[in-house]
């Protein structure tokens, strides 16, 4: 892995972790604005706690060395949560401002996943040789 790619990976991953932890905290403490947004989107409030816990666990999975399969699941979870947030805002007719955050986190998820080091990837075995 080149030094450039390592820097891209860690910058994207640390910003992703910060974004997921900060939004997870807002969801866990059920800030008034977050509750209002979830109500506006038509989701039950208990989903805030579930998403927050998943975000915290996903950040741990992505940052801790080893466990490449768990990392894949965490990245997939981040991708599904953020793309779901974007489409939810679009579905209710929200403007660009409302889905900027999820879009940024989605992009950081893809960058972090793409530039992750080899020891954080699942190694596939081709048995057809």
> What would the pLDDT profile of 9-65 be if each residue is shown by its tens digit?
999 999 999 999 999 999 999 999 999 999 999 999 999 999 999 999 999 999 998
As a whole number of angstroms, the distance between CA 50 and CA 115 comes to 28
CA angle at residue 34 from 13 to 48, to 5 degrees? 70
Per-residue pLDDT at 129: 59
CA angle at residue 99 from 94 to 103, to 5 degrees? 155
The answer to whether 17 touches 63, Cβ cutoff 8 Å, is yes
Domain ranges, ordered by start, for the chain? 3-114
Answer whether residue 67 shows pLDDT above 80: yes
Residues in the chain: 129
**Predicted TM-score of the model (pTM):** 0.91
Answer whether residue 1 shows pLDDT above 90: no
């Amino acid at each position: 892995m080149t030094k450039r790619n390592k820097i891209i990976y860690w910058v994207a991953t640390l910003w992703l972790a910060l974004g997921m932890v900060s939004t997870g905290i807002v969801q866990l403490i059920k800030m008034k604005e977050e509750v209002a947004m979830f109500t506006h989107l038509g989701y039950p409030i208990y989903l805030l706690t579930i998403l927050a816990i998943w975000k915290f666990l996903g950040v741990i999975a992505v940052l801790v060395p080893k466990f490449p399969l768990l990392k894949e699941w965490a990245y997939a979870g981040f991708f599904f949560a953020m793309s779901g947030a974007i489409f939810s805002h679009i579905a209710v007719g929200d403007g660009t401002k409302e889905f900027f955050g999820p879009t940024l986190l989605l992009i950081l998820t893809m960058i972090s996943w793409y530039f992750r080091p080899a020891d954080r990837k699942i190694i596939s075995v081709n048995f057809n040789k």
